[in-house]
Amino acid sequence: MRILCMLPAARGVYPPEAAERRLALMRSYTTPATQIDTDYMPAVSGFSPWGGSGDAEPPPDAAARAAHLSAQRAVQAAQEGYDAFCPFGTLDIGVREARTQVTIPVVGQAEACFLFCGLLDCPFASCSYMPGSEDRLRAWARDAGVASLLVATTAIASPMPSTPSDAWSS
């Protein structure tokens, strides 16, 4: 099986060391039966994968553009013979859009987490890095059919390792 995992940003958006660490992590899941290849989003979308935008606000269409670019890369992955596509991280960038354009599985990590919690059928909570994401997390839980099990959401407001310093400006 061949799976393509994609960073949710174009080459050069992440600091080089941070990008390589994420790419290496994704590739580390390779097994004798499963090949994991990695790539970047095909172009800059204006979307910030760590939630900050420095002094400037992201373009109003940045998230939609990122979703479109992710779906575009999924289409290319299917054409290249990959068996599945997975955008990196729990923002599930372009997962829904890609599923309308390809027949290979498109795996969103947040959706997978919520569905797994539903299989456990026990109350759970969600903790994110980014302040302001609590409503989005509740909507995702509702979409996954597990909203009744999500008992709390919180954001720790602490940068991820290698998050650009301006991503958390107030």
Residue 71, classed as helix, strand or coil, is: helix
Between CA 162 and CA 170 the distance in angstroms is 18
Q: Are residues 29 and 48 in the same domain?
A: yes
Q: Are residues 102 and 116 in the same domain?
A: no
Q: Do 79 and 42 have their domain in common? A: yes
Element (H, E) at 150: strand 150-155
What token pair was written down for 157? 């407001």
pLDDT at 41: 95
Residue 169 CA to residue 56 CA, distance in Å, equals 10
Which CATH number goes with the domain that contains 51? 3.40.50.12500
**Residue 136 and residue 54 share a domain:** no
Q: What token pair was written down for 80?
A: 């290249």
Reported pTM: 0.84
Per-residue pLDDT of the chain (170 residues; tens, 9 = 90+): 999 999 999 998 888 888 899 999 999 999 999 999 999 999 999 887 765 544 456 677 888 999 999 999 999 999 999 999 999 988 899 999 999 999 999 999 999 999 999 999 999 998 887 677 788 889 999 999 999 999 999 888 765 555 554 443 33
Q: Are residues 40 and 82 in the same domain?
A: yes
What are the E-state strand segments in 109-148?
124-128
* Domain, as residue range, for 155: 111-159
47/117 same-domain check: no
Q: Which token pair is 78?
A: 């299917």
Specify if 167 maps to a domain.
Answer: no
Widest CA span of the chain, in angstroms?
Answer: 46
Tokens, residue 134: 């609590």
The rounded distance, in Å, linking the Cα atoms of 46 and 134 is 22
123 lies in the same domain as 56: no
